[in-house]
Amino acid sequence: MSDVWIRGLTMSAMVLLVLHAVGSWVYSVLGLTAAIASAALVAAVSVLSARMAALGDGNHAWFVVPTILFTTLPLVAKLFSVLTAEHGWWAGIVELAPFLLGFAAPVLLLLTVCLELGRRARRSAPGQAVPVLLRQRGALRG
């Protein structure tokens, strides 16, 4: 399997993790309709961000910034709910651990893998990413 496929699968896994976390958080706070709308919004932003990152020669900020934003929002909400709850610090850690281990840590690990695969591709063919993409899309002939 090539690095391009691995990178695509890594991005897809991150999007699915973010969709699940944001959707379940919005569902618990605002209900079903808002959860569906937020899932559609996250999916649209993720697709647009991935396309913009693919067009920028080595500039992955289009994908990294929204991913970090969509990871931070549920994390802050979960921290807020844990810190404002009326229980001890041990119960707070126990409540926060599944979220951190099941969502935040995997997203950050996958983001690290995705960025390294992008750096590896950039090192192997410097300056070739944009012409290759444009040629694939039919904008360049040659």
Exposed / middle / buried, residue 131 (Cβ in 10 Å: 0-12, 13-18, 19+): middle
pTM: 0.67
Predicted pLDDT at 3? 80
Predicted pLDDT at 104? 87
Q: Rounded distance, CA 32 to CA 26, Å? A: 8
pLDDT tens digits for the chain (142 residues)? 788 788 888 888 888 888 888 888 888 888 889 888 988 888 888 888 877 777 666 567 777 888 888 888 888 888 888 888 888 888 888 888 888 888 888 988 988 888 888 778 777 765 555 555 555 555 555 5
Helix (H), strand (E) at residue 88? none
Cα Rg of the chain, angstroms: 18
Q: Rounded distance, CA 31 to CA 139, Å? A: 44
